[in-house]
A and B are shown apart, each in its own frame.
Chain A
Amino acid sequence: MTAYLDHAATTPMLPASVETLTCHLHRTANASSLHTSGRRARRVVEESREQVAAALGAGPNDVVFTSGGTEADNLAVKGLFWGRQDDATRRHRIVASAVEHHAVSDSVEWLVQHEGAEVEWVPVDGAGRIDLDAYRDILDRDPDSIALVSVMWANNEVGTLQPIDEVVAAAKQHGIPVHSDAVQAVGSVPVDFGDSGVDAMTITGHKLGGPYGAGALLLRRGLDLAPVLHGGGQERGVRSGTLDTPAIAAFAVAVDTAVAARPSQAPRIASLREELVAGVQARVPGAVVSGDPDPAGRLPGIAHFTFTDCEGDSLLYLLDARGVECSTGSACQAGVPQPSHVLRAMGMDDTQSRGALRFSLGHTSTKTDVDAVLEAIGPAVERARNAGLASRAHGFVA
């Protein structure tokens, strides 16, 4: 039996979403075609658009379907940056939190390297929440030179929520557009695009029970945004490419279902998480929990630990061998977890962050999953510590 605790990477598809996807895969038509079948497909897309919009407090015309979170983040960051340049004004600064997902931070870095952008990373506190004073100082310093602000709704590694209301309020004073990557937030915490005042918001299917390869950028109408993909002019001319009707329909069902289920699911998941955290801390003295200790300040399903003198990849192997699937939380390069920029921004040194492990719970999580972790964690940490010490020693020969 496998205990799956990596919902923040991908959560299992909801049965309703699978059913919708398979149902539409049997039908043929390009949603841009003008004939009867095309119109039928277009109707599915437009109803899906309305479904997504309604679930998230947006208007149907705010929804731009994409291939997922990475594309939506790229479109928001690059599209807003380019859209805000004109002959009269050079808005070359980008303000982003130091804990953004790589889809945002690497897009920003690319603009810095290739398009003459300048970046201001907003520092975070020990819990991973942005320093609002520092943020406001950055904005006040020549606000006319700022192209956009990008601050994620909730962090994917440690689960900390960002003060989106304050971020938006300060940016609005200067007329600066705000993008927020809400990939981890939708379905886990209340998210209302309209009320939030953000101008662009990233969501994706596979983090909330929908299919892979389907997501959206919610984009306030009237916002000047340069397209990244050019072609047939679909999606307001902002995102060309034939619409993936089955995936869009299944994605919309998942958004609707996940948002509707949130009031009952989130507390259930939160209490499983509390049980997991308390259990791990009881079995592994010295296990450090990262992120906001206040449940109101974080996602209900993420439990992020650092185990001193351990390497995350050793722990991952030992738990995997015992049927417990989790993550080190940070990005991998060719299978090797890289030191987490999030933990670094939170003030953790790289030695400590090597012992990071993220358990993330979701809609299919049960007490059995938590029990599996608690049964495996003690011996796994003990063994990983020995391995950590062994690989620091000089080996047999010396």
Chain B
Amino acid sequence: MRVLAAMSGGVDSSVAAARTVEAGHEVVGVHLALSSAPGQARNGARGCCTIEDARDARRVADVLDIPFYVWDMADRFRQDVMDDFVAEYAAGRTTNPCVRCNERIKFAALLDKALALGFDAVATGHYARIVDGPSGPELHRSLDPAKDQSYVLAVMGREALGHALFPLGDSASKADVRREAQALGLGVSAKPDSHDICFIPDGDTRAWLDARVERRPGAIVDATGTVVGEHDGAVGYTIGQRKGLRLGRPAPDGKPRYVLDVSVVDNTVTVGPSDALRVTAMDGATPVWLDTPPAQGAELSVQVRAHGEPVPCKVIRADDDLVSVDVTPGLTGIAPGQTLVLYDGARVVGSATISGARRAAA
């Protein structure tokens, strides 16, 4: 196959490219330039878009003896990932930019361009497995559960899955991948892992967002609508948040209070006890199915955060418009905008954007 290896300059995508070459494919390396004003050097462990990273990727391509190009997707990235992140935050929704990047850049813009240019597949350094199933390729969790990235890939869709390669999915551990990089003589073998959000190099997501979203003071209310405090802008609050509420009076029951709801439209933050956070049913909009949608009553598991634990769930409804699941005994910290991913064991069934939740008490 003719394979385009997406190369960030990190150790994972470098070894993924090496394994793709090793497998006998005709490989071309591409580094995505995602910033129109890239920094010269990496800052500590973070980031993946500096000129230094591009050079690292180029040097790996040299060692692997494959052609290498830099593709400029900075405009698309700014629009579809960064601006989207800000807009969603301003609308009171909690999104994961890595999910968006996979959905709209890596397995959309990049893959589309690659296919149009005559490539058969795109290989990345994600930790996930593609398994041949009875109805086509299936997306599975990686062998090393600590590194599994199937959650952020679940948005990619079936067609894209058929053109994706994740050569690291079978790795026993990250240490193995580093050893392999070293054995291949790749200069990036000891490079620190990248964390968090690549376009927020200092890791301070809140400060980055606050610099871009206007905040207006408003009321903090309890479930009865009684004003119990004041906030400096509802957009800054996340469901499940406890710290930073600055409520003067203790609650009548003396228990700590948590953010239960954030309404950007009314600029209101609703607080209440931790019991009220527990969600027992969720709805997800714009589902993406990697297989036929599961039957009503199917018993699966659901994960709502990249590094979260899956919990058992029961399918109430699953079609092209909506997915609805029961999660007894319950989940906390569910906010609109988060991605929910349904698993059948290690296999990804589909994903959707959380649009609503029902609480135990309701």
A391 touches B72 (CB 8 A): no
A383 touches B118 (CB 8 A): yes
Q: Which of the listed residues B107, B108, B160, B288 has the most CB atoms from chain A within 10 Å of its own CB?
A: B108
Query: With an 8 A cutoff between CB atoms, is A225 at the interface?
Result: no
Count of chain B residues with a beta carbon within 8 Å of a chain A beta carbon: 31
Q: Which of the listed residues B31, B103, B107, B112 has the most CB atoms from chain A within 10 Å of its own CB?
A: B112
Closest Cβ neighbor of B31 among chain A residues: A335
Q: Which of the listed residues B38, B54, B109, B116 has the most CB atoms from chain A within 10 Å of its own CB?
A: B116
Q: A334-B33, A395-B107, A397-B103 are in contact. Are A390 and B112 (CB under 8 A)?
A: yes
> For chain B residues 50-90, which have a beta carbon within 8 Å of chain A?
51, 54, 58, 67, 69-72, 76
B70 touches A396 (CB 8 A): no
B72 touches A387 (CB 8 A): no
A336 touches B72 (CB 8 A): yes
Query: With an 8 A cutoff between CB atoms, is A317 at the interface?
Result: yes
A318 touches B156 (CB 8 A): no
B111 touches A396 (CB 8 A): yes
Query: With an 8 A cutoff between CB atoms, is B117 at the interface?
Result: yes
Closest Cβ neighbor of B50 among chain A residues: A334
Chain A residue numbers with a CB within 8 Å of B104 are: 394-395, 397
Chain B residue numbers with a CB within 8 Å of A395 are: 103-104, 107-109, 111-112
Q: Mark A356-398, 1 if CB is under 8 A from B, else 0.
A: 0000000000000000000000000001101101110111111
Q: Mark B160-198, 1 if CB is under 8 A from A, else 0.
A: 100000000000000000000000000000000000000
Query: With an 8 A cutoff between CB atoms, is B354 at the interface?
Result: no
Query: With an 8 A cutoff between CB atoms, is A320 at the interface?
Result: yes
B116 touches A390 (CB 8 A): yes
A397 touches B72 (CB 8 A): no
A319 to chain B, nearest CB (A): 12
Q: Which of the listed residues A316, A390, A394 has the most CB atoms from chain B within 10 Å of its own CB?
A: A390
Chain B residue numbers with a CB within 8 Å of A47 are: none
Q: Mark A72-92, 1 if CB is under 8 A from B, else 0.
A: 000000000000000000000
Q: A317-B69, A394-B108, A396-B108 are in contact. Are A335 and B118 (CB under 8 A)?
A: no
Q: Mark A133-176, 1 if CB is under 8 A from B, else 0.
A: 00000000000000000000000000000000000000000000
Closest Cβ neighbor of A394 among chain B residues: B108
> For chain A residues 326-342, which have a beta carbon within 8 Å of chain B?
333-337
Chain B residue numbers with a CB within 8 Å of A387 are: 112-113, 116-117
Q: Mark A198-239, 1 if CB is under 8 A from B, else 0.
A: 000000000000000000000000000000000000000000
Chain A residue numbers with a CB within 8 Å of B28 are: 317, 321
Chain B residue numbers with a CB within 8 Å of A292 are: none
Q: A395-B104, A396-B157, A397-B160 are in contact. Are A390 and B70 (CB under 8 A)?
A: no
Q: Mark B100-138, 1 if CB is under 8 A from A, else 0.
A: 000110011101110111100000000000000000000
Query: With an 8 A cutoff between CB atoms, is A313 at the interface?
Result: yes
Chain B residue numbers with a CB within 8 Å of A336 are: 33, 70-72
Chain A residue numbers with a CB within 8 Å of B214 are: none
B70 touches A334 (CB 8 A): yes
Chain B residue numbers with a CB within 8 Å of A265 are: none
A228 to B70, CA, bound (A): 34
Q: A318-B117, A390-B116 are in contact. Are A313 and B107 (CB under 8 A)?
A: no
The A interface, classified by DSSP as helix, strand, loop or mixed, is helix
Q: A390-B112, A396-B157 are in contact. Are A314 and B117 (CB under 8 A)?
A: yes
Query: With an 8 A cutoff between CB atoms, is B155 at the interface?
Result: yes
Contact partner of B67 (CB less than 8 A), chosen from A320, A383, A389, A391, is A320
Chain B residue numbers with a CB within 8 Å of A393 are: 112
Chain A residue numbers with a CB within 8 Å of B51 are: 334
B69 touches A396 (CB 8 A): no
Q: Which of the listed residues B107, B111, B113, B156 has the most CB atoms from chain A within 10 Å of its own CB?
A: B113
A316 to B31, CA, bound (A): 15
Chain A residue numbers with a CB within 8 Å of B103 are: 395, 397
A113 to B108, CA, bound (A): 42
Q: Mark B300-327, 1 if CB is under 8 A from A, else 0.
A: 0000000000000000000000000000
Closest Cβ neighbor of B102 among chain A residues: A397
Chain B residue numbers with a CB within 8 Å of A390 are: 112-113, 115-116
A313 touches B159 (CB 8 A): no
B113 to chain A, nearest CB (A): 5
A383 touches B160 (CB 8 A): no
Chain B residue numbers with a CB within 8 Å of A320 are: 67
Q: A313-B69, A317-B28, A320-B67 are in contact. Are A396 and B159 (CB under 8 A)?
A: yes
A397 touches B156 (CB 8 A): yes
Chain A residue numbers with a CB within 8 Å of B67 are: 317, 320-321
A383 touches B116 (CB 8 A): yes
Residues of B within 8 A of A (CB): 28, 31, 33, 38, 51, 54, 58, 67, 69-72, 76, 103-104, 107-109, 111-113, 115-118, 155-157, 159-160, 288
| Cross-chain pairs A/B with CB under 8 angstroms, 18 sampled | A313-B69, A313-B70, A317-B28, A333-B38, A334-B38, A334-B70, A335-B54, A335-B69, A383-B116, A383-B118, A390-B113, A393-B112, A394-B108, A395-B103, A395-B104, A395-B112, A396-B159, A396-B160
Known pairs A318-B117, A387-B113; list 20 more (Cβ under 8 Å): A313-B72, A316-B69, A317-B67, A318-B118, A334-B33, A335-B54, A335-B58, A335-B70, A336-B33, A336-B71, A383-B118, A387-B112, A387-B117, A390-B112, A390-B113, A391-B76, A393-B112, A396-B108, A396-B159, A396-B160
Top 7 closest pairs, chain A to chain B, by CB: A395-B108, A335-B70, A387-B116, A390-B112, A390-B116, A386-B116, A336-B72
